[in-house]
Structure 1
Amino acid sequence: MQHAFKLGDAEYNVALSRSDSAYRLHRGDHAVDVVLSTAADGRTFLTVAGRRVEVVVATHGDDVYVHVDGEAYQLRYQHPLDRLAAQAGGSAEDRITAPMPGSIVAVMAKAGDAVTKGQTLLVMESMKMETTIAAPRDGVIADVSYEKGQTFDRDALLLSLEPQA
């Protein structure tokens, strides 16, 4: 299966398979063995094509933060359905999904409302922590899927925006 990752504004399509001793990362016609391992002292190492380097990896939802060779990188996993929506003329930013399971605490927007980037649309609660869901871009609310008090799973469609003209 093909996966897409964004690094900055660039998108990379990759596939992952297993070899005898490692994972194999495929990008186009090029493939390379990749091993992520943890040493006894807790340090993490990434070996790519035989080159071993120490790395620090942290994840938050679909974001992966990697620190390697004195440089920090943020990768974002892009779900295949979001990619298909974008190819069909929509945008991943037209669909606002739940970053984790939870329940709706407050709804600040309704279908037909014009919203601006950064405007609070919903407040959700998960594990006794509140998270504000903000508009990723200017637009018009097409649909709000949940009302106050309703529960949902991770990646549930919370609301959608009209595609940008």
Structure 2
Amino acid sequence: MKEIVSSMAGTVFNILASAGDEVTEGQTILILESMKMEIPVESTGSGKIAEIRVAVGDFVNEGDVLATLE
């Protein structure tokens, strides 16, 4: 399993992928909001989303696991 982690602290603004979705490396899977900026979070590899571990409105810290890939 590959983990997709947050590169910075922020609030989950939008989730663009769901568990079971096939994604490619570099594809945006969710968007964080920090200091009024929207920061895309990209998949670290190709595969199927096993789990999205956050919900819209959740606050995350740098290094938190946001999703996992199978």
Identify whether the pair has TM-score above 0.5, normalized to the shorter chain.
Answer: yes
Pairs within 5 Å for 1:39-118: 90=1, 94-118=2-26
Q: Which deviations, in whole Å up to 9, do the C-alpha atoms of 1:62-108 show, x marking residues without a partner?
A: xxxxxxxxxxxxxxxxxxxxxxxxxxxx5xxx111111111111101
> Aligned partner of 1:102: which letter?
G
The normalised TM-score by structure 2 is: 0.90
AA of the residue aligned to 2:68: S
* Alpha-carbon offset, residue 126 of structure 1: 1.3
1:153 to 55, 58, 61: 61
Task: State TM-score, norm by structure 1.
Answer: 0.41
Moved over 2 A (4+): none
Gaps of 5+ in 2: none
| Alpha-carbon separation, structure 2, partners of 1:140 and 1:111 | 8
- Give the structure 2 partner of residue 128 of structure 1: 36
* Partner Cα distance (2:10, 2:50) in 1: 22
Tell me, what secondary structure is at the counterpart of 1:99? coil
Distance 1:155 1:132 in 2: 15
Between Structure 1 and Structure 2, the one with more helix by share is 1
How far has the Cα of 1:112 moved from its partner? Answer: 0.9
Alignment RMSD: 1.1
- Once the two structures are superposed, residues 21-49 of structure 1 have per-residue CA deviations (whole angstroms, 9 ceiling, x without a partner) of xxxxxxxxxxxxxxxxxxxxxxxxxxxxx
Percent of matched pairs sharing the same residue: 37
Structure 1: runs of 5+ lacking an equivalent: 1-89
